[in-house]
Amino acid sequence: MSRDRINKILNRIPTHAIIIFMILVWVVPTFGLLVTSLRPSQAINTSGWWTILSPPRGSAEYTEYCAACHGSGGDALPSANLSDPQLVGQFPRSLQLLAALRRDIDGQPHMGDVPLPEVQAAADIAGYLKQLSGIESQPRFTFSNYIDALVGYRGTTTYQQDCAAGTAPLDIKCDASDLLNPRGMGRAFVNSLIVTIPATILPIMFAAFAGYAFAWLDFKGRFLLFAILVGLQVVPLQMTLVPISRLYAQLGLNGTFLGVWLFHTGFGMPYAIYLMRNFLGSLPRDLFESAYLDGASHWTAFYKLVLPLAMPAIASLGIFQFLWVWNDLLVALVFLGGTTPVMTYQISNMVTSLGAGWHLLTASAFLSMLLPMIVFFGLQRYFVRGMLAGAVKG
Amino acid sequence: MAGRSVPNIMRQGKLAPWLYLMPALLIMSFFIVYPMINTVSLSFKNRDGTASAATTCVEGNPCWGVFENYRIALTAEFDTRTFSSFWRTFWVSSYGNTIKWIFLMVSGTVGLGLMFAVLADRVKYEALAKAIIFMPMAVSFVGAGIIWKFVYDYGTQQVQIGLLNAIITSLGGQPTAFLTIPQLNTVALIVVGVWIWTGFCMTILSAALKSVPDEILEAARVDGATEWTIFWRIMVPIILPTITVVVTTMVINVLKLFDIVYVMTGGNFGTNVIANRMYTEMYTNFNVGRGTAVAVVLVIAIIPFIYFNIRRFLAQEEMR
C-alpha cells in the first residue's frame, strides 16, 4: 500500500468515528427499548437491558463459593442436590442460607477454610439457587409484555399466568375478545387505523382537485388565494383547537371519528395543496393543450391525465399524512380522548396517569412504532421526496 | 404564477375552477380560518366565553381590563417583586424555556444535520447512515419520549436501569434525576427533540450539498484549499438559502412543539413551554379565555415566519 493511501485512510478515521458515534446515539436508545420490551418485568426493574447477555445475578458468587463442591449445575453432591427445589426451598433468603453455611457437616465446617460469603453475596446466591432449582423460572426473553399490552392487562403477574390461575381482573375475559379491551393496545391499534386511513385519503383527494385548479385553471384571485394558503401552512394547531372543540361539543362530534377525520383533513390541506400544485404545475404544458385539442373536458383531463401522472406526488403526500396522523397526539387527546383511544393517547395515558411499568410502556411504544417503521423503511424514497418538495408542515 | 399563465385553451367556463376548489376551500375556512378569528375573540372573554375578560379581574390585584387574559398569559409565571426573582422565574417559565428550546434545538438540529450531511457524503455506507439518523422522523414524539424517558431513568435504589445513569455510575459519578432538576431537565428534553429532528435537517441540507457543482470543489482543491476552508467559504455560502429555510422551519416546529414535554414531564419541574401551557389552561383548567390568549401569543410569535414563508414563495415564483 502506498504512503498516500495510508494517509488517506488515516485522514478518514475522524470522519468514520463521528458518523459511527452518531449512529450509535441514534440506534442504542431504540434498541434498548426493543430489548427491554422482550424481558420479564421483574428483570427489567432489577437490571439494565445491557446486562441481558451477562450471566444471571448471583452466578459469579455461586461459582466462587459453591461450585467447587456442588458443581456448576448444583447436582454434583447427591446428598445435597442444589437443583432440588425442596432442598433449596429451606433457605429462601440470605439469613437461612448463612445459617446453613455456619452449621458443621460431619464435624467439618461447611465451607472448609473458605470464609463465609458477605450478606449481599449470600442474598445473590440464594436468588440464584431459586433459578437453578426451578423454584422461580424466569425466561430471558418473553412475549408476555406484548400480550399484556395488547389486551390491556395491568395486574401484577402476566395475562397468561392470571388467566391460567383463574385470577384475572374483572375486565379481562381470557378469550379473544380481550383484544378489544378499551384499555389495551389492540383496540387502540384498530382505532388508530380507523382514524388514519380516511384522514389520509380525504385531504389528498381534495388537494388533488384544488392543486389542479391552482396549477392549470384560470380564475380570479388565483395568486392571492395561493399566497394565503402558503401562509396558512404554518398556523399552529393550538390556534384552532378551542373553537372547534366548542363547536364539536354542540354538534355532538366530540369523541367521534368523523370529527377527527375532518379536523385532520382541514389541517393537512394547505401543505397538500401546495405540494400538489407545485408538482402538477411542473407537468409539460403541451400535454394539456393537446388534450383539449382532442376535445377533452376539464374533468377528463383531470381524471385520465392528471391523476395517473400525479401518482408520485400522491405517494409522497400519502406517506407524509399517514405518519402525521398516526403519530399525532394533540388532536387525539382533544377530540377523541379516552372514549376511543388511539395508540399515542393510550401510551401517554399510561405515562401520565397510570404510572404503568416499563414492561408495558416499552412494549406499547414498540407496538405503536411498528407500522410507521414498515411504511418508512419500505417507502423512504417517497417520503424524502415529499419532504424536499415542501419542507414545511405542522 | 404571477407571470405564468394557463394555456388559453384551458379558459373554459368561469365556474369550473371553483368547483374544483370548493371542497378544499370550505374545509379550510371551517377548520383554519374561522377558528383563528374565533380564538382571537375568545381570548378577550372569561373562562367559558360568556362575558368579557374584564369581569374576571379581582379587586386589589392588577387588572388589564379586557386584556386580563393576556396579563395572566404574559405575567402569571413570573415573580416580579425584584429583578433577580423575575430573572430566576423567567428561565423556568414557558417563555424562558421556549427561548431555550429555540436556540438549543435549532442550532443542535441544523449543526448536527449539516455536519452529518457533509461527513456522510464521504463514506460508502452513506445511505444506511442517513436512513438511521432519519428514522426517528417516522416514530411518534410519544414513542421517542418513552425511548428517552427510559434512557434518563433515575433509580432511587442501587441499580440504575436507565442507560445514562448506568454509564455515569460506572464511571464513578452520582446518579442524576435528569427529568426533575430544573434547567438540566429542559436540556434533557431538547436532546430528545434534536434526536428526532436532526434527520429532517440532514436530509434537506444533504440534498442541497449534492447540488453544489463538483467542478467548483475540485477547482478549490487543486488550488490547495483545505476541506475546512471549502466547507466554510464555498459550501456554506452556496447552500445558505436552504439553511435559512431549514432554520425558519425548525423555529416554527419548536414553537408548536407539545408532545415531548407533555409525555416526559407534563410541563412540571420548570419544563413548561408555550404550546403545552395552552393545553393545560384549556383542557386541564378548562379556562377558554386564558387558553386562547396563550394560543394568540403563540401565533404572534409565528407571524414573522408566516410573512417569511410568503416572501420566499413569491421569490420562488419569480424564478419559475
Say if residue A298 is in the same domain as residue A341.
Answer: yes
Burial of A220: CB neighbours in 10 Å, binned 0-12, 13-18, 19+: exposed
Q: Establish if A43 belongs to a structural domain.
A: no
Which of B5, B14, B31 has the most A C-beta neighbours within 10 Å, making it the best mutation to test the interface with A?
B31
Provide the pLDDT confidence category of residue A392 given band limits of 50, 70 and 90: very low
Element spanning A104, H or E? strand A104-105
Res A10: pLDDT: 75
How many angstroms separate the CA of residue B138 from the nearest CA in chain A? Answer: 6
Element spanning A175, H or E? none
Say if residue A171 is in the same domain as residue A233.
Answer: no
Arithmetic mean of pLDDT, A347-372: 86
- B39 to A46: CB separation less than 8 angstroms, yes or no: no
CA-derived radius of gyration, chain B: 25
Contacts of A50 in chain B (CB under 8 A): 163, 166
Q: Establish if A160 belongs to a structural domain.
A: yes
Say if residue A252 is in the same domain as residue A377.
Answer: yes
Contacts of B204 in chain A (CB under 8 A): 387-388, 391
CB of A73 closer than 8 Å to CB of A59: no
Comparing CA positions, the residue from A255, A31, A44, A32 lying closest to residue A148 is A44
Say if residue A190 is in the same domain as residue A176.
Answer: no
Say if residue A175 is in the same domain as residue A86.
Answer: no
What is the ipTM for the molecules in this complex? 0.88
Residue for grid cell 426573582: B85
Q: Give B28-68 pLDDT, tens digit per residue.
A: 999 999 999 999 999 998 888 888 888 888 777 788 888 88
The shortest CB-CB distance from B27 to any of A262, A362, A380 is to A262
Res B3: pLDDT: 41
Q: Establish if A85 belongs to a structural domain.
A: yes
Alpha helix ranges (H) inside chain B: 16-28, 34-42, 68-75, 83-90, 94-100, 106-120, 126-134, 141-151, 163-170, 184-210, 214-222, 227-229, 236-256, 259-264, 274-279, 288-319
Residue for grid cell 433515575: B154
Contacts of A285 in chain B (CB under 8 A): 7
Is B92-271 in CATH node 3.90.1300.10?
A: no
- B142 to A223: CB separation less than 8 angstroms, yes or no: no
- B10 to A218: CB separation less than 8 angstroms, yes or no: yes
pLDDT above 90 for B182: no
pLDDT above 60 for B148: yes
Arithmetic mean of pLDDT, A43-72: 83
CB of B192 closer than 8 Å to CB of B144: yes
- B1 to A222: CB separation less than 8 angstroms, yes or no: yes
What is the domain count for chain A?
Answer: 4
pLDDT above 60 for B123: yes
Comparing CA positions, the residue from B266, B164, B158 lying closest to residue A355 is B266
CA distance A128 to A122: 10
pLDDT above 80 for A121: yes
pLDDT above 90 for B112: yes
Arithmetic mean of pLDDT, A138-149: 86
Arithmetic mean of pLDDT, A32-52: 87
Q: Establish if A318 belongs to a structural domain.
A: yes
Arithmetic mean of pLDDT, A146-174: 83
CATH of the domain at A68: 1.10.760
- The three cell numbers of residue A315 are 405517494
Domain of A386, in residue numbers: 185-390
Residue B268 vs residue A207, higher pLDDT: A207
Say if residue A267 is in the same domain as residue A307.
Answer: yes
Say if residue A18 is in the same domain as residue A67.
Answer: no
CB of B282 closer than 8 Å to CB of A241: yes
Q: What are the start and end residues of each CATH 1.10.3720.10 domain in chain B?
A: 92-271
- A365 to B256: CB separation less than 8 angstroms, yes or no: no
- A19 to B246: CB separation less than 8 angstroms, yes or no: no
Res B11: pLDDT: 61
- Whole-model pTM: value is 0.87
Q: Give A217-259 pLDDT, tens digit per residue.
A: 888 888 899 988 888 888 888 889 889 998 999 999 988 999 9
Provide the pLDDT confidence category of residue A80 given band limits of 50, 70 and 90: confident
How many angstroms separate the CA of residue A344 from the nearest CA in chain B? Answer: 6
Contacts of A356 in chain B (CB under 8 A): none
- A242 to B292: CB separation less than 8 angstroms, yes or no: yes
- The three cell numbers of residue B246 are 431549514
Burial of B237: CB neighbours in 10 Å, binned 0-12, 13-18, 19+: exposed
State the average pLDDT for chain A.
Answer: 85
Say if residue A103 is in the same domain as residue A158.
Answer: no
The shortest CB-CB distance from A267 to any of B31, B145, B159 is to B31
CA distance B57 to B240: 50
CATH of the domain at A300: 1.10.3720.10
CA distance A329 to A116: 57
How many angstroms separate the CA of residue A111 from the nearest CA in chain B? Answer: 29
Res B320: pLDDT: 63
CA distance B94 to B267: 9
How many angstroms separate the CA of residue B319 from the nearest CA in chain A? Answer: 13
Is A343 in a helix, a strand, or coil? helix
- B299 to A236: CB separation less than 8 angstroms, yes or no: yes
Minimum CA–CA partner of B268 in chain A:
A352
